[in-house]
Amino acid sequence: MWRGAEFAPVWLEKRVEPGESSELGIYVEALAKAPTCFGQFGLKGEMALSIHWLLGVLLALPWWQMEEEARLRRWEELASHALQRRVLEVSAGFLGTPYAFSPLGEGEGVDGDPLFRWDVVDCLTFIEETMALSLAGTWEEVIPLLNDIRYMEGRVHYEARKHLMEAQWLPLNLKKGYLKSLAASLPGIHIRRAQKRLTLETWKHEEGKALGLSPGARPLGHFSIEMVGLEEALALFSKLPEGSLVVFIRADLPKRITRVRHLGLLVHGPEAPMLRHASRTFKKVVDEPIERFIRRQLSYASWTIEGVAIYELRKPSKAKAGKRMQKAPAAKSTEEP
C-alpha cells in the first residue's frame, strides 16, 4: 500500500489500489488523532506540524482515484473555506495525477481531447482546473468557469483558446479579474518587464507553424510581463502567500512564440517553499522544493530561466462564465462531460 520516496523531499507517494478504501479510513482516523499522539511523544510546535502536514500528504486520495460521488462530496466540503484554502486543498487533490502534454481540447475539431478530465494534466491544465474547481459556487459551474479561463469571449473553439501566455492567457485573465499581479506589493524589489515581440516572421518558424492557427488568429505586437529576478524571487518565496501562481520566464529567443514554458503554485513546505506543479520530469503532479526546481532549470543552457512572474488567484466580481452545462465532470473522463 505504501511506497517510498522517489525524490526526497518531493512528496512521498501513496497509491490507493482497488479494495483499499476501508483500510484508508483507519489511516484517516489516525491522522485526526495525530496531534494528541505527538504530544505524548514530546513532539510539539513546528516539528508536530511538519509531521502532521506530511501525514496529510501521504493519506490524501487524489481526485482521479475517487468515485464520482465521493469526489463531489469532498468538493462540497470545501465550499465554506476561503479561496486560498480552497486552492490549496483542490490542488492537493491532483498530487500524483499523471502528466500528459496538452490533455484538454474542445471535444471536436482540431483538438478532439475533452474539455475536462481528471486522469491526466499538464502544467497549464493543472492550474486551469484548480482555478475552476476552486472558484465555482456550484458543481455545474466548473466547466463554464474553466471555459472562461481557457477561451476568449466564451467561444469554445481551438482558435479562440488562450494559447500564448504573454499575449493571451495572462493579460486576458488579469483583465477578467482571475489574477492579480503581486509585483506592486513587493517593496524594494526590482521589477523588470519581460518583453516578447510577435511578428509575421515569428510565425513562420517551426514553433509558430506547429500551433496551426490561421493568420487572423495569430497574435501580433509587443507584449510584456512584470518579472522578478531569480535570486530576489528565491529570497521572497517564503514570505509570499501560499497558493500564489508562479510563472517561469525564459530568455527571449526570436524563433519562439512565447517565453513561458512552465507554471505552478507556491506551497509552504515544512522546511522550504515548494512548487506544486505538473512535472514532465517526474511524470505526475508533485510538490518539489522550488529552489531545486529553479537550479535544475538553470542547467538548461540553451534556453534558461531569467525570472518569474507572481500572481494571486482571485474570484472576479462578475465572472463571465459561458453557457452552463448539465453534467459535472465524470470520473477519469476522456470525452466531453
Q: Which residues contact 109 (CB under 8 A, 6 or more apart)?
A: 157, 158
pLDDT at 130: 98
Residue type, 110: V
Give the pLDDT score at 42: 54
Q: Supply the pLDDT for residue 99.
A: 98
Give the other-Cβ count within 10 Å of 140's Cβ. Answer: 13
Task: Parse the chain into domains and list their residue ranges.
Answer: 178-313
Residue 182 is placed in which grid cell? 503581486
- The sign one gets for the Cα dihedral 159, 164, 167, 170 is positive
C-alpha to C-alpha distances, 310 to 18, 186, 333, nearest whole angstrom: 40, 10, 31
Q: Which CATH architecture has domain 178-313?
A: Roll (2.30)
Question: By the 8 A CB rule, do 206 and 150 touch?
Answer: no
**Mean pLDDT by 10-residue block, N- to C-terminus, for the chain (337 residues)?**
29 35 37 46 50 50 93 93 96 97 96 97 98 96 97 94 97 97 86 95 96 96 95 92 96 94 95 96 97 89 88 81 42 38
